[in-house]
Amino acid sequence: MVKTSDIEKAADVLRAGGLVALPTETVYGLGANAEDPAAIARIFQVKGRPPSHPLIVHIAGAEHLDDWVQDVPQAARVLAEHYWPGPLTLVLRRGPRVPLEATGGLQTVAVRVPDHPAALALLEAFGGGVTAPSANRFGQVSPTTANDVRAELGDGVDFVLDGGRCLVGVESTIVDVTSDAPSILRPGGVTREELEAVLGFPLAVPSTSHVRVPGQHPSHYAPRARVVLVEPEKVIAEAELAQELGHQVGAFVPASFAGAPVTAHAVLTVPASMSAYARELYGFLRKFDQLGCDLIIASLPKEEGLGLAIANRLLRAAGPRSTV
């Protein structure tokens, strides 16, 4: 349980233009007053993120949606009703209250209601919207505990609201509802199948979440160690070979091979359930870094249910690293 005094302190920091790391059900966010361009500028500076990248505005409940956006289509109302609070972000037309600094200059804005008691208590106490990207340095692994946030951002954040471990573990699903054919921009905590069942029609999913060629994904959600993806039945052999060649290998052993002996620097077994896998994914990637691995050998889960979001994050983690 988060103390009321901590909620009040966090709300005061937001009012004073400061940055608060807040827990959500997906990952920790780096929050600022959504109506304070100077505070928003600090988010980009602390994250090292280009200011053209738009942020998500977090609100306390679906009843506040119309304060922030315009022209809400029926599909958006249906999804908000069904999944908020929850790991679903809706992209809608920006209302005048949202500064362009929060949207990277776009006329659309991403909005969600997080399903975490401390986040909701903070949003209620603060009374406004909170823009919050994931509380990691740009391109790195998202934090799922308060300690991860401190390790990522240190003094860059004015207050860390510790709400325990994030229960979903991967970011929200982002659905663009600004066109007549809503589409998934980022797979996440609510599955495509669930959304389609509620809407009653199929959603377009970008090829980036499907394409199996890692080279096509610029690196993101990435640990320090290089990530190499292989077929599930090759993980152990490839890990042992790379270890023999002098790498400090972190082997991400598929659940179906649990218990098999592996000669590697560090071995973690992927949980069999996709929800457990999503919850552990970022913690595992961090663990391999902490243990000093320079190479992680992993495989992709089936791209169905939460497996779609997990596969998307692993593909991005395995993408080519920027050299700048």
Query: Under the rule (CB under 5 A), what is the footprint of Mg ion?
Result: 134
Q: Which option in ligand TXA, Mg ion, none does residue 62 bind, with CB closer than 5 to 8 A by kind? A: none
- Please give the Cα distance from 275 to 256 (Å, whole number): 16
User: Which residues face 22 on adjacent strands?
Assistant: 29
Q: Which option in Mg ion, ligand TXA, none does residue 205 bind, with CB closer than 5 to 8 A by kind? A: none
Closest separation between CB of residue 112 and ligand TXA, Å? 6
Q: Are 98 and 34 in contact (CB under 8 A)?
A: yes
Instruction: Tell me whether residue 134 or residue 312 sits nearer to ligand TXA (CB atom).
Output: 134
Q: Which option in ligand TXA, Mg ion, none does residue 303 bind, with CB closer than 5 to 8 A by kind? A: none
- Please give the Cα distance from 204 to 186 (Å, whole number): 11
Q: Are 26 and 172 in contact (CB under 8 A)?
A: yes
User: Which residues face 117 on adjacent strands?
Assistant: none
Q: Point out which span in 13-21, 49-57, 63-71, 72-80 binds ligand TXA (CB under 6 A).
A: 49-57
> For the chain, first and last CA: distance in Å?
42
Instruction: Tell me whether residue 134 or residue 219 sits nearer to ligand TXA (CB atom).
Output: 134
- Please give the Cα distance from 177 to 56 (Å, whole number): 15
User: Which residues face 297 on adjacent strands?
Assistant: 228, 251
Ramachandran angles phi, psi of 212, nearest 5°: -95, 5
Closest separation between CB of residue 123 and ligand TXA, Å? 12
Q: Judged by CB under 6 A, which of 53, 210, 212, 234 binds ligand TXA?
A: 53
Q: Which option in Mg ion, ligand TXA, none does residue 174 bind, with CB closer than 5 to 8 A by kind? A: ligand TXA
Q: Are 209 and 312 in contact (CB under 8 A)?
A: yes
Q: Judged by CB under 6 A, which of 14, 19, 89, 277 binds ligand TXA?
A: 89
Q: Judged by CB under 6 A, which of 10, 20, 21, 56 binds ligand TXA?
A: 56
Q: Judged by CB under 6 A, which of 13, 59, 174, 314 binds ligand TXA?
A: 174
Instruction: Tell me whether residue 239 or residue 277 sits nearer to ligand TXA (CB atom).
Output: 277
Ramachandran angles phi, psi of 106, nearest 5°: -75, 155
Task: Tokens for 3, please give them.
Answer: 């103390």
Instruction: Tell me whether residue 143 or residue 182 sits nearer to Mg ion (CB atom).
Output: 143
Instruction: Tell me whether residue 173 or residue 269 sits nearer to Mg ion (CB atom).
Output: 173
Q: What is the torsional sign of CA 64, 90, 74, 197?
A: negative
Instruction: Tell me whether residue 134 or residue 269 sits nearer to Mg ion (CB atom).
Output: 134
Instruction: Tell me whether residue 174 or residue 228 sits nearer to ligand TXA (CB atom).
Output: 174
Q: Is 103 in the site for ligand TXA (CB under 6 A)?
A: yes
Q: Judged by CB under 6 A, which of 20, 91, 149, 177 binds ligand TXA?
A: 91
Alpha-carbon distances of 44 from 21, 49, 165, 178, 195, rounded to whole Å:
14, 5, 24, 26, 31
Q: Is 145 in the site for ligand TXA (CB under 6 A)?
A: no
Task: Tokens for 111, please give them.
Answer: 């909005």
Q: Which option in ligand TXA, Mg ion, none does residue 24 bind, with CB closer than 5 to 8 A by kind? A: ligand TXA
Q: Are 19 and 74 in contact (CB under 8 A)?
A: no
- Please give the Cα distance from 173 to 191 (Å, whole number): 8
Q: Is 312 in the site for ligand TXA (CB under 6 A)?
A: no
Contact residues toward ligand TXA (CB under 6 A) are 24, 26-27, 29, 53-56, 87, 89, 91, 103, 106, 108-110, 114, 132-134, 171-172, 174, 185-186
